[in-house]
Amino acid sequence: MATDKQHIEPPRFGTYLLQRIYGRELYDEISGDMLEIYADRLQSHGKAYASFHYMVDAVQSLRNYDLRKKNNTTQNNSIAMFRNYFKITLRTITKNKVYSALNIMGLALGIAAFVFILQYVTYENSYDKFHTDHEHIYRVRYKVYRGEELNIDCAAAVPRVGPFMKEKMSEVIDFARAFPVSGVMSTNNNQFRENRIHVTDPAFLSIFDYPLIQGDAGTALSEPNKVVITEEMALKYFGTTDVIGRPITFNSWFEMSLQVSGVTINVPDNSHFKYDFLISYETLNNRTRDEETGRVPSEEGWGWYDFNTYVLLRDGTDPAAFDRKFNDYLLEERGEDFAEYNFRAEFPLQKLTDIHLYSNLLQESEPEEQGDGQAVFFLTIIAFFILVIAWINYINLSTARSVERAKEVGVRKTMGAYKKQLIYQFMAEAVILNFMALIVGLLIVFFGINYFNQLTGSQLSLDFLLSLNFWLVAGGVFITGAGLSGLYPAFILSSFRPSDVLKGKFSGNKAGNTLRKVLVVFQFAASVALITGTIIFYQQLAHMRNADLGFDMTDTLVMKGPAVFGADSLFTTTMNTFKNEMLKYTEIEAISASSNVPGDEIFWTNSIRKNGETPDKAKTIYIVGIDYAYFDTYDIELLAGRNYSKTFSTDTGSMILNASAIRYLGFESPEAAINQKVMFWDYPKTIIGVVDDYKQMSAKTAVSPIIFPLALDENNFLTLKLNVDDYSKAFEITQTEFDRFFPGNPFDYFFLDDFFNRQYDNEREFSRVFTLFAVFAIIVACLGLFGLSSFSAIQRTKEIGIRKAIGADISNIIFILTREFMQLILVSIVIAFPLIYLVMDGWLDNFAVRINLGIPVFLLAGLVVILIAILTVGYKTLITAKSDPVKALRYE
């Protein structure tokens, strides 16, 4: 029998499994059956067979996991308890509706704010990521140094650099240039001025992902006089997208007939590069080719920098190493020129995905749309701040209410609850409340998204609700929130000693009070910082908009000059007649034609030096071509000398500069510069006048040195100064006359103040976003403060009753009740101000015209916060203070 005993030992794991599957009640008899079968098999087939089948049977027994478990009370206990927690939570919620609402609303607002900001930030970060190769696409920047000084830092490069890079650098798979032009597009029926036209290499459509819905991406741009248009343009001009081969005429500084060779999708909003038309590059080359020399500036030029150049690099290329290597090739090719003209050019790469947020160069493709990486970063921080503030609320309110819950804890403990179970209970409460808040928060997002878009000018959609990433983040926030906000109260509440609590000795928790204070201080410091930041933001914005720009932009109408014009020789004469005709109307005070208007970025530059200086001292200067009336029309002050005049026939050899240019060239003063000679490119010119540094661009940037040559054939913009308030009349006259003089040209106009102020769109958008979230933050913080203060008022009902009975008056009581909170808020103000001062002072340094941070701003912000806090705390406090002491003292 000893051998039998030895054999009767089936695999342990199988036995273990059976023990787990069958409850205590069934295990004995069933394992008996199993062992019997095992023994039979052992005898008939041997140990391996028996053991194997024993395991199979055990595993198959898993199907019986629920056999006879229905009445098994010990197993069902935890589920019943969870059901109980749920019930208790609901009861607690309904019992204290105000606190629960505060709690849930606070959390929900926090979550909503977080989701909004997250979406906004995600959108800002999503720019250009829809290109499959976005990781490997770079833009070639153009930097020019004169001596050690960085003269030009430009987003557009020269035409030669793209092909040159591809020839020399094996890392370059392909390159594409895009040369922006604007002009009038016309078909038989339609004629519009278009600004989003680019002349591009064939590779443009293969490097970037702008899929064609008509035509072939590989060949659409390989022949001259071809144009690829967007779906929107196809519908605008032809009413259909089936437009391959249809003709369209382009009028700009060159006129030509183009043929549509492809239709792409509309450019996505989150593309830094926007186009409506892409003209094939050969078209431009044919235009610029010099018949005599056979040279093609738009292919070979090293100086003409208007070409956005993009390169697609091989996987794993290090851009820094690439730049160094390319620099060597560049010096080899261009070193002589660099030495001769004393300048040095560089073409560093810039990541495609960095362009939207982290680039602020000259000639950006969409300067108004450029994002601000710093602001996005701040927003992300604010998002977390708001969320943390909301979580703090939960912790504060739950610990504050611990006194109330203490009895419940005491009873539960007496009845035999373990500490672990109480922790479970309070965690479960946190989970349930956080879950409700998540739902409410998402509802806020769902119904508020349109309003948010309107307010901030962003284009968020609700599509994110379908993305897995979003739910992962939301889940993360939910779990972190429930964990963080539940854990502390759970441990505090569960640690009460029943004997103390039930005897009524318990009266709050010192450590809890301190923590609560620290958290309130943190909350309010964050809110104060946000409010102060927002006020400063607004002040700076207002300051910039009201800054003395040095020119007058009221009542100023600007028209785009005529692009379609038959004979160039007649142009100047016609323009003169037009101007004279216009001035006959009393509604028109002044009229001027120029190459640029204020607020329009100058792309035209050339070199300049003082007469007598060697060419190596030459500097780059911006150019605005003007007529006689320009300075008068804009009311720009002449600091020294005189304006151009028709009475001086020598004025073609004269120059007017702005004050910056005078300093830039090294003259002592505007007066000292008058009648001095300068070399403009290679031509000697005499300075006859110096004008004030009016803000050609916004007050954000410093004024560039500008030279104003007399250029009577310039016609990019026609500025009209209207002298009546009846715009419609003046407008009508202008349009009629324009159509009479320049038939075949679309009448394109804008009012200068709108045009100029659009430069602040970005700041305005950000200021709205910041305000919105500052308000969110303060509301959430106030919800918490309201809960805390009213709670402490209730706690002190008895004390107040006694005080009143002895003779304290209401103001006394209010003072006592609010004092504690006011102290906390003062502390948070003291903490927040230095921090926000440092941050905002740094931010303001980005602007050429900036406000100085004085005491008033902080005083205002401090007052606002204190006022809000008093209102928040005051309501419940007042009620308590006014209450009848008799009732308070009969309270127990």
Partner 1 sequence: MKGTYLGEFEELVLLTVASLGQEAYAVSVKAEVESNAERKVNISAIHSSLYRLEDKGFLTSEFGEATQKRGGKPKRFFKVTSAGFSALQQSKDLKEQLWSSIPQLTFQSI
Footprint of partner 1 (CB under 8 A): 1, 4, 8, 26, 28-37, 39-40, 56-57, 60-64, 67-68
Least distance (Å) from partner 1 to the CB of residue 12? Answer: 13
Least distance (Å) from partner 1 to the CB of residue 491? Answer: 44
Close Cβ partners of 61 (under 8 Å, ≥ 6 residues apart)? 17, 18, 21, 22, 30
Least distance (Å) from partner 1 to the CB of residue 70? Answer: 9
Q: Say if CB 68 and CB 26 are below 8 A apart.
A: yes
- 29 versus 366: smaller Cβ distance to partner 1: 29
- 68 versus 295: smaller Cβ distance to partner 1: 68
Least distance (Å) from partner 1 to the CB of residue 80? Answer: 22
**Residues 838, 842, 848, CA angle at the centre, nearest 5°?**
145
Least distance (Å) from partner 1 to the CB of residue 35? Answer: 4
As a whole number of angstroms, the distance between CA 890 and CA 537 comes to 54
Least distance (Å) from partner 1 to the CB of residue 387? Answer: 51
- 59 versus 871: smaller Cβ distance to partner 1: 59
Coil/strand/helix, residue 363? coil
Least distance (Å) from partner 1 to the CB of residue 7? Answer: 11
- 34 versus 349: smaller Cβ distance to partner 1: 34
As a whole number of angstroms, the distance between CA 165 and CA 172 comes to 7
Q: Which residue has the tokens 């800002």?
A: 124
- 60 versus 811: smaller Cβ distance to partner 1: 60
Least distance (Å) from partner 1 to the CB of residue 56? Answer: 8
Residues making up the chain, counted from first to last: 892
Helix (H), strand (E) at residue 686: strand 683-691
Q: What HEC string does 453-520 produce?
A: HHHHCCCCCHHHHHCHHHHHHHHHHHHHHHHHHHHHHHHHHHCCCHHHHHHCCCCCCHHHHHHHHHHH
Least distance (Å) from partner 1 to the CB of residue 33? Answer: 4
- 56 versus 518: smaller Cβ distance to partner 1: 56
The gap from C-alpha 158 to its chain's centroid, in whole angstroms, comes to: 30
Which of 180, 179, 137 lies closest to 160, judged by CA? Answer: 179
- 35 versus 851: smaller Cβ distance to partner 1: 35
Least distance (Å) from partner 1 to the CB of residue 3? Answer: 13
- 4 versus 754: smaller Cβ distance to partner 1: 4
Q: How far apart are the first and last CA of the chain?
A: 78
Q: Say if CB 459 and CB 123 are below 8 A apart.
A: yes
Least distance (Å) from partner 1 to the CB of residue 52? Answer: 13
Least distance (Å) from partner 1 to the CB of residue 27? Answer: 9
- 56 versus 830: smaller Cβ distance to partner 1: 56
Least distance (Å) from partner 1 to the CB of residue 495? Answer: 45
Structure tokens at 220: 């659409």
Q: Say if CB 606 and CB 620 are below 8 A apart.
A: yes
Least distance (Å) from partner 1 to the CB of residue 19? Answer: 13
Least distance (Å) from partner 1 to the CB of residue 65? Answer: 10
As a whole number of angstroms, the distance between CA 687 and CA 418 comes to 93
As a whole number of angstroms, the distance between CA 209 and CA 270 comes to 13
Coil/strand/helix, residue 225? coil
CA dihedral 374, 380, 381, 384 (to 10 degrees): 180
- 9 versus 726: smaller Cβ distance to partner 1: 9
Q: Say if CB 590 and CB 633 are below 8 A apart.
A: yes
Q: Is 60 left (phi over 0), alpha (psi -120 to 50) or beta?
A: alpha
**Residues 111, 114, 115, CA angle at the centre, nearest 5°?**
85
Helix (H), strand (E) at residue 264: strand 255-264
As a whole number of angstroms, the distance between CA 90 and CA 67 comes to 34
As a whole number of angstroms, the distance between CA 560 and CA 749 comes to 6
b/e per residue 730-746 (b: at least 16 CB within 10 A): bbebbeebbeebbeebb
Q: Give the other-Cβ count within 10 Å of 291's Cβ.
A: 6
As a whole number of angstroms, the distance between CA 308 and CA 156 comes to 4
DSSP assigned state of 846: T
- 29 versus 761: smaller Cβ distance to partner 1: 29
- 4 versus 340: smaller Cβ distance to partner 1: 4
- 9 versus 732: smaller Cβ distance to partner 1: 9
- 1 versus 468: smaller Cβ distance to partner 1: 1
- 63 versus 890: smaller Cβ distance to partner 1: 63
- 4 versus 318: smaller Cβ distance to partner 1: 4
Q: Say if CB 595 and CB 625 are below 8 A apart.
A: yes
CA dihedral 84, 89, 91, 93 (to 10 degrees): -170
Least distance (Å) from partner 1 to the CB of residue 26? Answer: 7
As a whole number of angstroms, the distance between CA 635 and CA 156 comes to 33
User: Beta partners for 199?
Assistant: 179, 279
